[in-house]
A and B are shown apart, each in its own frame.
Chain A
Amino acid sequence: MTSATFHSDATRQQADAWRRQTSLRRFYTALGVGLLLLAMFSSMWFADEANAGHFFERLPHILDFLSWLIPKDWNDVWRALFDIASPHDKGTQEFNFPLGRVYVWGGFYIPEYFELMLTTVNTALVATFIGFVFAIPFSFIAARNLTPSPILRLVVKRFMELLRAFPEIVIAGLFAAIVSVGPVAAIIAIGLHSIGALGKLFYEINENVDMRPEEGLRAVGANWFERVRFADLPQVLPNFISYTLLRVEINVRASTIIGAVGGGGIGEELKLSISRGFGAKTLALVLLLFTTIFIVDQFSAWLRRKLVGEQAFLMGA
């Protein structure tokens, strides 16, 4: 670090070149950040303009909504959750919680929300199952190293991309017109999306598979199906299941959202409750949803860690 390093001409030239490069680099970075900020602020302006209420105008009122959400009697949240009659009941739907009870056996009932939550979770599970079952064969066809035919591979890949990108609410809406509005349309919509999403993750795993067992089987004359079944599937199955569990989490959320646009389940009830202004009900629903999603997350994280270890958590897929 002495000035002696700068004495020869060559080093000085090098230093100059380095300085020029860094200043150019800084200029590009500043330009990029500037453009990003410009895009950000113009987007903010655009979003604000297009919105029904404006940001600064509504900001002081944002707590109005929260204060509406907080019930006068906290016990109402529990009552709403378990469909117990509220003393505040004035014949309004807001407090008439027992209306929603689902009687299973005589006087034995489960609270409405638990059944709705069950619908949502079941929707997610069945949809994930559909995704899992169809994604496996697709992923073997779509993997570069395992595909039986390159043309077929391209077709399947594009098809899965389409399934992934196709807006879920359109599929849900189309099937709502066919199988009637309800969870079945949601299952189909989320299931089709899951095929595309899982298929992509699966075939990326397949492309990293160890090819030696496959070569061994090829040497004894196994056909494509046998090679895939006995050489590749055992290697990739733990990772497949790990990603599928991750998908269960995502699909629970997705089925909640689809529910809100007419797919049944807890999402629909939540949307209605908020739009009608039922504070205690809304809180009860949010509490239930929050707990369920937390449990599903934790359980699937635990299972994944058991299956494939820490490796499953490295890249947020």
Chain B
Amino acid sequence: MTNLTAEEMLSIEERFPHVFRRPLYQRFGTLFLFAGTVLYLIYAAWFFSLPQVLRESHWERLPLFLSQWISYDLQPEFRLDQPEITPKYPRFSALGDNPNPDWVIKNPDGTYTVQIDGQARSVTFDKTQATIVAYGQTVPISLTGGKPVVTGPVPDWVTVHDDEVVAKMGFVGEVRVTADRVKVRKRFLGWANFVFDTRSPFFGKSAGEVVSLIVSGPELQPGTSNLALAGDNIWNNAQWQHGDVWTKLLQTIVMAFLGTLLGGIVAFPLAFFAARNLTPSGVLGQVLKRFFDFMRSVDMLIWALFFTRAFGPGPLAGSAAIFFTEIGTLGKTYSEALENIDDKPREGVLSTGANGLLVQRYGVMPEVVPIFISQTLYQWESNTRGATIIGAVGAGGIGLKLWEAMRTNSNWANVFYMVLLTLAVVFIFDNISNFLRRRLSRTIHDYNRLQAQQG
């Protein structure tokens, strides 16, 4: 690389003044834009009181919630103030009515041992004292003084409160000891009772047992075949609500399908009257275009709220909301596609003396139908995604179920189940729509190529 002399530099500068002597706004435009963005972000941080929100947020809950998406816990409780120590399980425990898990052991000497992670993390207790074992350490707790007292050093995974000792053992669970009870939380990977709930006669049986029962077992419920009973039990699983979830999912799909299709059907003729080059009257075109704008900008949410009031909550309201929005969206895109057509085929058909309808049918339609279908498919795909949201305001579908499951803050596994189903549906519909659109664009491409060949 040669070094430039001052003279050469000057001559270059003279030859390209638009590069070196640009107006001020061009030279500092980027800088101003950057500074403006930074200022806006500072304003936004103040507006949303971001520092305070961040200070009050509980990020430690995130891994907790995420772990709850893929696991479940069991919480046996042992009352020590009864004549005899007995394990108690919550009413809707995942273990069913007669829980006898092998990790709760009644020792011959009358003490109980609960294994949270095998022998390595466990708690052994009777009425007078408890011993917690974890991370290779043993923590004895005396229960005789009316409150739990740790006798010996307290490791950092044990917290001593006034009347409670809490031992956290990571993902696998925790132990809480008070003077009159021991509470254990044991966490398992996976989803409990996903197939059969605890009320089902098939509950707790292995897959082989269930199959043999269905194939050749005695009727568990007289008058119903075992297959039908099993199907009914799965469909009406109280904890996972498969039937309800799948129906709601179908509602979401139906809402998107109906709304988009009906929107397309209504927008199709209107678009011809709205297109600048095809409309018989400019005023009509303008009116229709403003009508499309209105339908679009009133927003799916308002339509959804409106129709839930009119029809009551459910997929009918959702379909109607998508339908009204789609009239606007599809009307706009259709009429824009019509305005971009090649005028020659139309003139050709017109020159044969065909009437208005025939001109549209043979002169315009063949050109735009693939584009129309492609745009409709695209909208269908995006509405399948969007329908979950308006569902949450009562317009039917999986949205409301999702929202309700999240509001309780406890059913994260159910949330994840529904999310997985929704994702599966979205992916399947994406692929169908992509496939069809690729087929269509290939047709358009072939058509263009043929035209080019013929000159």
Q: Is the beta-carbon distance between A316 and B336 smaller than 8 angstroms?
A: yes
Q: Is the beta-carbon distance between B336 and A169 smaller than 8 angstroms?
A: no
A178 to B407, CA, bound (A): 12
Contact A314 to B393, CB < 8 A, known contacts A47-B258, A51-B311, A58-B312: no
* Interface flags, B412-427, vs A, CB<8A=1, else 0: 0001000100110011
Tell which of B56, B293, B305 touches A274, judged by Cβ atoms closer than 8 Å.
B305
Stretch at the interface among B4-12, B360-368, B395-403: B395-403
Tell which of A170, A176, A187 touches B402, judged by Cβ atoms closer than 8 Å.
A170
Contact A47 to B389, CB < 8 A, known contacts A167-B422, A173-B402, A257-B301: no
Contact A257 to B390, CB < 8 A, known contacts A165-B385, A314-B340: yes
Contacts of A129 in B (CB 8 A): 37, 41
B261 on interface, CB distance cutoff 8 Å: yes
Contact A183 to B62, CB < 8 A, known contacts A169-B389, A173-B406: no
Contacts of B314 in A (CB 8 A): 47, 50-53
B278 on interface, CB distance cutoff 8 Å: no
Cβ-closest 10 pairs across A and B: A52-B312, A51-B314, A53-B312, A173-B406, A51-B316, A179-B57, A47-B315, A165-B426, A261-B392, A316-B333
Tell which of A166, A254, A297 touches B419, judged by Cβ atoms closer than 8 Å.
A166
Beta-carbon nearest neighbor of B404 in chain A: A173
Beta-carbon nearest neighbor of B66 in chain A: A174
Contacts of B306 in A (CB 8 A): 65, 274
Tell which of B54, B300, B310, B333 touches A65, judged by Cβ atoms closer than 8 Å.
B310
* Interface flags, A168-187, vs B, CB<8A=1, else 0: 11100110111110111001
Q: Is the beta-carbon distance between A177 and B305 smaller than 8 angstroms?
A: no
Q: Is the beta-carbon distance between A39 and B257 smaller than 8 angstroms?
A: yes
Tell which of B53, B298, B415 touches A179, judged by Cβ atoms closer than 8 Å.
B53
Contacts of B302 in A (CB 8 A): 270, 286, 289
Interface residues on A, range: 35 or more
Number of A-B contacts (CB under 8 A): 194
A43 to B255, CA, bound (A): 8
How many whole Å from A34's CB to the nearest CB in chain B?
Answer: 14
Within 8 A of B (CB), among A180-208: 180, 182-184, 187
A residues apposed to B, CB below 8 Å: 36, 39-40, 43-44, 46-48, 50-55, 58, 61-62, 64-65, 118-119, 122, 125-126, 129, 161-162, 164-170, 173-174, 176-180, 182-184, 187, 253-254, 256-258, 260-261, 267, 270-271, 274, 286, 289-290, 293-294, 297, 313-314, 316
Contacts of A286 in B (CB 8 A): 298, 302
Beta-carbon nearest neighbor of B425 in chain A: A165
Tell which of B65, B297, B310 touches A174, judged by Cβ atoms closer than 8 Å.
B65
Q: Is the beta-carbon distance between B257 and A51 smaller than 8 angstroms?
A: no
Within 8 A of A (CB), among B402-455: 402-403, 406-407, 409, 415, 419, 422-423, 426-427, 430
A126 to B41, CA, bound (A): 8
A290 to B298, CA, bound (A): 6
B113 on interface, CB distance cutoff 8 Å: no
Q: Is the beta-carbon distance between A122 and B47 smaller than 8 angstroms?
A: yes
Beta-carbon nearest neighbor of A46 in chain B: B254
Contacts of A293 in B (CB 8 A): 297, 299
Contacts of B62 in A (CB 8 A): 174, 178
Contacts of B257 in A (CB 8 A): 39-40, 43
Q: Is the beta-carbon distance between B56 and A180 smaller than 8 angstroms?
A: yes
Beta-carbon nearest neighbor of A189 in chain B: B389
Contacts of B313 in A (CB 8 A): 51-52
A153 to B399, CA, bound (A): 32
Q: Is the beta-carbon distance between A48 and B298 smaller than 8 angstroms?
A: no
B284 on interface, CB distance cutoff 8 Å: no
Q: Is the beta-carbon distance between B261 and A36 smaller than 8 angstroms?
A: yes
Q: Is the beta-carbon distance between B261 and A297 smaller than 8 angstroms?
A: no
B358 on interface, CB distance cutoff 8 Å: no
Q: Mind listing 27 A-B residue pairs with CB under 8 Å? A: A40-B257, A43-B257, A47-B254, A47-B316, A50-B247, A50-B251, A51-B312, A58-B310, A58-B312, A65-B306, A126-B48, A165-B422, A167-B389, A169-B392, A169-B402, A170-B402, A173-B406, A174-B65, A176-B406, A179-B54, A256-B299, A257-B389, A260-B392, A267-B301, A290-B298, A294-B293, A314-B336
A297 to B329, CA, bound (A): 13
A257 to B298, CA, bound (A): 12
Beta-carbon nearest neighbor of B334 in chain A: A316
Q: Is the beta-carbon distance between B48 and A177 smaller than 8 angstroms?
A: no
Beta-carbon nearest neighbor of A177 in chain B: B409
Contacts of A164 in B (CB 8 A): 385
A232 to B258, CA, bound (A): 42
Tell which of B247, B258, B419 touches A170, judged by Cβ atoms closer than 8 Å.
B419
Beta-carbon nearest neighbor of B407 in chain A: A173
Q: Is the beta-carbon distance between B44 and A47 smaller than 8 angstroms?
A: no
Contacts of A53 in B (CB 8 A): 310-312, 314, 316
How many whole Å from B370's CB to the nearest CB in chain A?
Answer: 13
B388 on interface, CB distance cutoff 8 Å: yes
